[in-house]
Structure 1
Amino acid sequence: MDSLTMAVRRASLACAITIALSAPGVAWGQSASDQAQDARIAQLENEVQALKQMVQQQQGQLVDARQQLQAATVAGNTPLKGPGVQASGALAPSPALAAGTPPRAPIQNTAIVAGGDSHFSFGGFIKLDMMSTWTSDGTITDSTPGRLFYFPAGTPVDAGPSDSYTDFHAQFSRIWFGVDRMTDAGDKLKGYVEFDFFGGGNNNVANEKFSNGYPPTLRHAYVQWNHWLAGQTWTNLMDLGSLPETVDFVGIVDGTLFARQAQIRYSTGNWSFSLENPQTWYQAGSPAQVSSGENTVPDVTARWMTKGDWGHFSVGGIARELRTRDDRATGFGLSVAGSFKVSPSDLFQYTVSGGSGLGRYLAFGLVPDAYLDGNGSLKAQDTYAGFAAWRHNWTGNLRSTLAYSAAYIAVDEAAVGQSATERTQSWRVNLIYSPFPRLDVGAELSWGTRELANDAEGELARLQTTVKYTF
């Protein structure tokens, strides 16, 4: 670049000399000869032309250097550092490259740069839960899911005298990251990952003695390409729009379809279809559930949904292979869900589900997929569940939800015993106030029962409050 600088300086000096010589000539009646002036002008034009050629040569060398560096990056060589190279090793945007339209590196070897053709986003919320719980027939073990949110399978029945306890935690706080991109061909790409700090109530790392540190838990991790989705997210069978607002993590757990798992999904129009991770949980001679990893066929789901100003409505179905090492059975389920806007201030939400072998998709594992009958054969478990909720907006920043949820399991007492769960139900009512946008302060009263096949019953009552800030 030194020669380029010297050339520019020489051209500038030549221009100054020409002006100095020509201007006086005009004022003094062209005292210098016309021939000398013409010669000087010709010399200046030659120097300017030489300068132009030098600049073009320097630009050509820069383009060649950038293309060589890009080719080395595509080939997997160690990226260089220097002008025009980002810290990631990808080439920085260059007017020369844009003008020359050099070949592009494959997307796998090109850094995603904020402010380019990709849009980055992030968000989440911070949530403090404070709850006081009373149980009629025993104690919910500390640091288990039932101490953190309503978990119907954990309600004690015939497990001791009544008990009460208070718990504070912020484990359901979460954060998510996303990136969206539109390709030159018009394809839409999206990546999404989300974490919270719940971890299924596993406190092998955390403790409530002094640190209360909880490891991140993967909730979602998927990529979308136009109509396709691949990764972990909500089961396609689940209707998120039907879930009511509760202070509890989910609240209406008894009748809720709830599962996050790896899958491949295709959506078009009102329809969506998926192949999802298969897993069988069954009972073998006792109420305890046993996990089987013998499945060979993925769970298959299909869902149809329509929506409008009135609300929305969906129908979903699932077909499954239920399998142990020694036997197999077929499971299926159907779910109808939706919402209905009764008035500008009132919203009705509901879900009704049932089937044979719907199992682990219901009520956070309350229901087994199958059980071994008296002959040792695998039988799909019949189950019915649902919930209904009414939300009313008192003012623009004050609202309430009243909800009822229930699940019923057709227990084969001869096969799994009389201490198996046969029925659960719960009520809840809340009041949530938003003094500022994205800030919620709420309180909720709830009551639930769990009934066994021998008619024994345990109750749970809870007062829960929360402070939640969404960002």
Structure 2
Amino acid sequence: MAISRHFSFRRTALAGALLLGLSGAVHADSRSEAALEARINQLEQQLAELKAAVEAQKKATAAAPAAAPAASGPAATGVKLPIQSTTLTPSANPGTTVKIGGFIKSDFMLTRTDGGQLADSASGRDLYVPGQTPVGGAGSNTDYDAGAKFSRLGIGIDTVTENNDKLGAFVEWDFFGGALGNENATNTYGLTLRHAYVYWNKWTAGQTWSTFMDTAALPEAVDFIGPTDGVIFVRQPQIRYTTGNFQISLEDPQTTVLPRGGGAAASSDRGALPDLAARYTWKGSWGHFGVAGLLRDLRVDRPAAGTTPAITDSQFGGALSVGGKWNLGESNDIRYQFTGGSISRYIGLGITADSVLDASNDLEAIDGWAGYVAWRHLFSKKLRSNLMYARSDYDNPLAFTGTGVTKSSSSFRLNLIYSPLPKLDVGVEYMIGRRELESGANGDIDRLQFMAKYSF
């Protein structure tokens, strides 16, 4: 009996302890839930305050003018800072890049001629134009000219699509246009289009350098062109196809025509056939070498005017050119070009005309040859020099042109160019040129030219 009461007491005590434990756990769980709910409410309140602050900051940023970038320190290695928050070309394809470049160039020249004066408005006062060298005049004349009109600005737009198609466009201007002011006060000049073309993969369409021209072989000169007497120098509208080292193009045709007996050449923009140009270039660590061909339809088509009968005739012309750059170690290179055939409009800014009218008012082609060679030497990373010689000769049909037309033109030039800072060039160049007529008369031109140029 006593044992039974003992076990009954123990069972009662154990049940009481268990009940008390369960009651404590329930109260503990209730306290945890209350604390958790309070913490959630607190976080929700903080999140609401943070959202309100962000919205207020957005409104303030949109209303305030753009601030200058903070003068923070350099970015960490491998981190590229954004240039701008939005693209410069929002209507272009995704991933389009914009490149702006060009240079500011100032020229200062002393020019002496022994066969007469260059006219005040002559382009030969700003750059060397062989066909304008005076011949047959009296006495020597020296003129000083200065200007910044050959400064230029270009904008390039380039895109590579997800399919790896390449397309883009390029436009470039300088200020060698018609005068809008005068040298008395403003010295202002018109904006002139140099290049304007689009490209996609292997195709190019628009205005740019002729495929017949090798721009990579041009020597560095203080003058606008340099070896003008012997260089192919033409920019014109065209459509071009390029595959590997081969290029072929259809280019804008033009025929320059001398009147019978000589005189000023006139331009004839007639015909249905474009100029056909093609080029192949070999390249290597030694430099490059290129061969180019040109096929032209020389054409004149003028209606009758008074007693002058109608003139309609055409003649095919062709030309070949070779040239390139030959590297001679790290400090020297030779650049050269030799061209022959129906080349007149393409050489030296039109030293003479492509053709002349014969006794029957038909076209007689004027062929010729031209070339230059230039040696470039680097004295140091900052100092370099270029020595060049250029010449062109023409096979004039004297029975129709007379003896007052250009037979040959040539020039020597030597320059020294110093770059005290990257992209900044200062230079001096001395040039001696000669133009000779079929009559044997000739005229010389000497020019001392200084320049300051900053490229960007």
TM-score, with structure 1 as normaliser: 0.76
* Equivalent residue for 2:245, pick from 254, 267, 270: 270
> Aligned residue for 2:148?
170
Q: What whole-Å deviation, never above 9, does each CA across 1:31-72 have from its counterpart, x for those lacking one?
A: 4998xx8xx99xx9xxx9xxxxxxxxxxxxxxxxxxxxxxxx
Aligned to 1:375: 360
- Pair 1:451-2:427 in alignment: no
Q: Letter of the 2:206 partner, please give it.
A: G
Indicate whether 1:415 and 2:400 are aligned: yes
Aligned match of 1:327: 313
SS in 2 for 1:442: strand
CA contact (8 A) 1:419 1:452 kept: yes
Residue 346 of structure 1 is matched in structure 2 by 332
Identify the match of residue 217 of structure 2 among 239, 242, 263: 242
Asked if 1 retains the 8 angstrom alpha-carbon contact of 2:366 and 2:397, the reply is no
1:423-455 residue CA offsets vs partner (Å, 9 max, x unmatched): 100000011111111111100110001111100
**Structure 2: unaligned runs, 5 residues or longer:** 1-21, 45-61, 63-88, 302-311
Tell me: CA distance 1:247–1:111, structure 2 relative to 1, closer, same or farther (3 Å): same
- Aligned counterparts of 1:244 and 1:287: Cα–Cα separation in 2: 33
The residue that corresponds to 2:57 in the other structure is none
Is 1:143 the counterpart of 2:129 in the alignment? no
Indicate conservation of the 8 Å contact 1:206/1:213, yes or no.
yes
Equivalent residue, structure 1, for 2:380? 395
- Is 1:156 aligned to residue 134 of structure 2? yes
Counterpart amino acid of residue 365 in structure 2: A
CA deviation string 1:347-397 (max 9, x = no partner): 100000000x22211110113111112332212211100000011111111
Change (3 A) 1:27 1:197: farther
Residues 111-157 of structure 1: CA distance to partner in whole angstroms, max 9, x if unpaired? 138xx511111010010100001000111011321000111011000
User: Map of 1:258-337 to 2, 5 A cutoff?
Assistant: 258-285=233-260, 286-325=262-301, 326-337=312-323
1:82-119: CA deviations, max 9, x gaps?
x9xxxxxxxxxxxxxxxxxxxxxxxxx97138xx5111
Are 1:215 and 2:187 matched, yes or no?
no
8 Å contact from structure 1 (residues 367, 383) kept in 2 = no
Q: Once superposed, what is the RMSD of the aligned Cα atoms?
A: 2.3
Distance 1:33 1:257, change over 3 A: closer
Contact 1:287 1:421 in 2 (8 A): no
Over residues 225-281 of structure 1, what are the superposed CA-to-partner deviations in whole Å (9 max), with x where a residue is unaligned? 000000000000000111101111112100010100000000001100000001111
Taking the aligned partners of 2:355 and 2:293, their CA distance within structure 1 comes to: 18
The structure, 1 or 2, with the larger RCO (C-alpha pairs under 8 Å, 6+ apart) is: 2
The equivalences for 1:28-177 within 5 A come to 29-31=25-27, 111-112=91-92, 116-177=94-155
**Secondary structure, aligned partner of 2:281:** strand
Q: Distance between the aligned counterparts of 1:28 and 1:162, measured in 2?
A: 121
Q: Supply the AA of the counterpart residue of 1:468.
A: K
Change (3 A) 1:437 1:377: same
Letter in 2 for 1:308: G
CA distance in structure 1 between the aligned counterparts of 2:203 and 2:364, rounded to whole angstroms: 34
Give the alignment partner of residue 163 of structure 2, picking from 176, 180, 185.
Answer: 185
Paired residues of 1:287 and 1:417 also in contact (CA < 8 A): no
In 2, Cα distance between equivalents of 1:314 and 1:246: 22
CA contact (8 A) 1:280 1:369 kept: yes
What is the CA-CA distance between 1:403 and the residue it aligns to?
A: 0.4
Counterpart residue type for residue 167 of structure 2: L
Match of 1:441 in 2: 426
Q: What amino acid does structure 2 have at the position aligned with 1:444?
A: E
Shift of 1:29: 4.0
**What is the identity percentage for the equivalent residue pairs of Structure 1 and Structure 2?**
43
Which residue pairs with 1:224 in the alignment?
Answer: 199
- Aligned equivalent of 1:426: 411
- Conserved 8 A contact 2:246-2:278: yes
**2: distance between equivalents of 1:310 and 1:189?**
31
C-alpha deviation, 1:287, in angstroms: 3.1
Q: Distance in 1 between matches of 2:195 and 2:270?
A: 25
